[in-house]
Amino acid sequence: MVWSYPGTPNGQRSLYLNRELSWLEFNARVLHEAEDERTPLLERLKFLAIFSTNLDEFYMVRVPALRRQVAAGVQQAGPDGLSAEEQLAAVNARVRTLVRRCERCLHETVLPALRREGLYLLVLEELDPEERRSVDTYFETHVFPVLTPLAVDPGHPFPYISNLSLSLAVQVRDPLTGGVHFARVKVPKSLPRWVPTGKGLRFLPLERLIEAYLWRLFPGMEVVGVHAFRITRYSDIETPPVDEAEDLLATIEEQIFQRRFGEVVRLEIESGMPAEVCRLLLAELKEGVDPLVLPLTEADVFEVGSLLELGDLVSLASLELRELRDAPFASVTPPELRAPERSIFDVIRDGDLMVHHPFESFGATVERFFDTAAEDDDVLAIKLTLYRTSGDTAIVRALTEAAQRGKQVAVLVELQARFDEVNNINWARTLESYGIHVAYGLPGLKTHAKTAMVVRREADGIRRYVHIGTGNYNSRTARSYTDFGLFTCNPEIGTDISDLFNLLTGFSRQREYRRALVAPANLRDRIVAMIAREAEHARAGRPARIIAKMNALQSPEVIAALYDASRAGVDIDLVVRGICCLRPGVPGLSERIRVISVIGRFLEHSRVYYFANGGDEEYYIGSADWMPRNLERRVEVVVPVLERAFHRRLMTLLETYLADQRQAWELGADGSYRQRRPADATDQGSHVRLMRDPWGLDWAESPYHTREFQAASLSPPPEPHLHDVNILSAGARRRRRPRSE
């Protein structure tokens, strides 16, 4: 399905933007935060780390899918009109451009600027004698015992190289024979990447230290060349159909083991690596590869400068140099919960409670909900879904305490949460050891819903207290991801969530719910129907508008419905952080649709949908983006926000994002993004405004600015920032992967 678009060779473009290229444009916006001079220096370093780890995951998951289609000879194009081969070529070309930008930003801008502030990444020749003695000692005591040189010759096969590990390709000459030999030395992950020299904030990359002492690993040999390299392997998990929970657990564990041996899909090399060394690596990495897998070629080799594994920069970005980082920020306790002696159940019974993280405290709301449930003698049962959780979570401690107190506790643990499979298997076994009922969900579906239910005995009977969120039950990401949480004891929603848990832990074919929209049962159809309803309102002259905020928009059915609504006269504003396959602003198709992406200090993760509905406005929040995987292959929960008091807050919040002239990027019909520029230098963007009030309310309206709240709040509100803030945190941390959901 194509439409005419002037300026292209054939005058035709698909109705849909390509998913993979759209994701790369998201990562380009992340990279821009590192390039932006308005961003504090250490935060710029953090963004380079995020950009790099994001790209790692893209090559571990998305690129292999394209390569396998090419290897299988699949010619059918997707909704965007591109074949897998065309996508792969376009991806490689775009990535090369972005990698060059990243290299220039790091070496020509950020590192020189950091030097002027007293933070150095050095080469060995820059060390003074005292520093040289310090790193000499460090090498002998900490590094040398760990290193293992691995020769490659007829008696020593090419070694296994693990995914994303940093290695040195070493060429040594035998002075007796004159022969040149190849060896590989792994840079240990167990040691800090940046070696302190003993003087101030001066560091030496670990690989440069190892390079200086290679003669210790190859005594009597002449080191004639050393160059860093790194490989990326296909690392997704493919789960075949299984019948039993134990089968699923065993299958996931086997897949995790097999992931270590996934096909190599990318080779990153240090600038200046000789062509013959690169050819040797390519040849060895292709050896023994499954013939059904696309072999590695020079098109899959990326020269990335003198520093590889930029994800490790996050440890430098975490240094306590306040003047080079964002100003401190403290989340606040919602006014409804400022009285510590009042039970959170009393608050929810008086009326629904809605919170916005990280601006409102996760600990004072969600964790308090579980802590209270564990300690309350009237609580009979606790049920929740766990997709990702942090290692030190208070929620898990509360669950184990509740089980020990004799309460019924049931947890749905999603074993297939990408790259958190090992953590979740360990959590599942830990929970079971405390007598908690653990289930693993439905065959063929990931459980991505973020919901919990507490069943409590009260004077007037049994009452269900429910929490529905847009983010995971993870205290760590709750500090850097924007997410909503809705607490309610609405009987219809409570019954819906009760039915959902029965579906997840037992046997059920339930497809109808009272208030909740549940994927894959009814969510996609209801969304499409509500969009079509707006179109009918517009045709009839009634109020019709759609505003939706999400992480990604890809579903062809939803996009087609949005196009139809636009043609019918519905004004549509979309705030889509990452992938967006819809083309906005096309005359006669989507001219009433506007799309922005907000990139800033926090990772935009919340989902909210607004429908004007002829004047009877509706708001929904939940765990689902408008993507095929969320609507068709996952268990998701979206619920209406019924309390009218929260409608004003949600609309103000959406208007805050839509009006953002500092952090917002506008999507054009050609798939390119243009960053908005503030006319007024005092415009500091939506995140600064939300740090002042979690819903973007003006000073006079905000409950956080009253004297009574200031006196009674459990945690003080943040001071307004005096400088411009434009930082996105995509969950960068010392891991070999970027954020996930």
Reported as a single tens digit per residue, the pLDDT across 163-188 is 899 999 999 898 888 888 889 999 99
pLDDT at 723: 26
pLDDT tens per residue across span 399-411? 999 999 999 999 9
Residue 4 pLDDT level (bands cut at 50, 70, 90): very low
pLDDT at 249: 59
Phi, psi of 142 (to 5 degrees): -115, -35
Q: By C-alpha distance, which of 4, 3, 212 is closest to 124?
A: 212
pLDDT tens per residue across span 178-235? 888 889 999 999 999 999 999 999 999 999 999 999 999 998 889 999 999 999 988 7
Q: By C-alpha distance, which of 48, 3, 25 is closest to 552?
A: 25
Cα(723)–Cα(681) distance, integer angstroms = 10
Q: Look-up: residue for tokens 């060779």?
A: 9
**pLDDT average, residue stretch 417-436:** 71
pLDDT at 167: 94
Three-class DSSP category at 597: strand
Cα(567)–Cα(590) distance, integer angstroms = 7
Residue 50: pLDDT over 80: yes
pLDDT at 437: 87
Identify which has the larger pLDDT, 721 or 72: 72
pLDDT tens per residue across span 527-552? 999 999 999 999 999 999 999 999 99
Share of the chain above pLDDT 90, in %: 64
Give the CA count within 13 Å in the CB-facing half-sphere of 488.
Answer: 23
Catalytic residues: 448
Residue type, 468: I
* Maximal C-alpha separation, the chain: 93
Give the CA count within 13 Å in the CB-facing half-sphere of 258.
Answer: 10
pLDDT at 627: 95
Structural element, H or E, at residue 555: none
- Least confident range from 215-219, 487-491, 495-499, 671-675: namely 215-219
With contact defined as beta carbons under 8 Å apart, do 452 and 383 qualify? yes
With contact defined as beta carbons under 8 Å apart, do 636 and 518 qualify? yes
Cα(117)–Cα(735) distance, integer angstroms = 27
Residue 727: pLDDT over 50: no
Residue 732: pLDDT over 80: no
Pairing of strands 571-576, 545-550: parallel
**pLDDT average, residue stretch 79-85:** 88
> How big is the chain by its Cα radius of gyration, in Å?
27
**pLDDT average, residue stretch 232-246:** 64
Residue 259: pLDDT over 60: no
Structural element, H or E, at residue 336: none
Cα(90)–Cα(82) distance, integer angstroms = 10
Q: By C-alpha distance, which of 517, 514, 564 is closest to 537?
A: 564
Q: By C-alpha distance, which of 197, 196, 41 is closest to 114?
A: 41
Q: By C-alpha distance, which of 641, 712, 697 is closest to 468?
A: 641
Cα(222)–Cα(185) distance, integer angstroms = 16
pLDDT at 11: 41
Domains located in the chain, CATH noted:
98-254+261-324 (3.30.1840.10), 335-505 (3.30.870.10), 517-712 (3.30.870.10)
How many other CB atoms are there within 10 angstroms of residue 323's CB atom? 9
Please state whether the peptide bond connecting residue 358 to the residue before it is cis, i.e. omega within 30 degrees of 0: yes
Six-digit token pair at 421? Answer: 């499979």
Max avg pLDDT among 4-18, 633-647, 704-718 = 633-647
Residue 285 pLDDT level (bands cut at 50, 70, 90): confident
Residue type, 324: L
pLDDT at 605: 95
Q: By C-alpha distance, which of 688, 699, 679 is closest to 722?
A: 688
Cα(400)–Cα(322) distance, integer angstroms = 38
pLDDT tens per residue across span 596-627? 999 999 999 999 999 999 999 999 999 999 99
With contact defined as beta carbons under 8 Å apart, do 21 and 196 qualify? no
Residue 24: pLDDT over 90: yes
Structural element, H or E, at residue 207: helix 206-212
pLDDT at 119: 96
Identify which has the larger pLDDT, 534 or 322: 534
Share of the chain above pLDDT 70, in %: 86
Q: What is the DSSP letter of 310?
A: G
Residue 8: pLDDT over 50: no
Max avg pLDDT among 11-15, 316-320, 464-468 = 464-468
With contact defined as beta carbons under 8 Å apart, do 245 and 202 qualify? no
Cα(639)–Cα(51) distance, integer angstroms = 33
Average pLDDT across the chain, whole number: 86
Phi, psi of 215 (to 5 degrees): -60, -25
Q: Helices marked H in 540-639 — which ranges?
A: 556-568, 628-632
436: left (phi over 0), alpha (psi -120 to 50) or beta: beta
Cα(113)–Cα(323) distance, integer angstroms = 13
pLDDT at 109: 96
Residue 446 pLDDT level (bands cut at 50, 70, 90): confident
Residue 590: pLDDT over 90: yes
With contact defined as beta carbons under 8 Å apart, do 611 and 584 qualify? no
Residue 717 pLDDT level (bands cut at 50, 70, 90): very low
Q: What is the DSSP letter of 332?
A: B
Q: Which residues contact 142 (CB under 8 A, 6 or more apart)?
A: 191
Cα(420)–Cα(390) distance, integer angstroms = 10
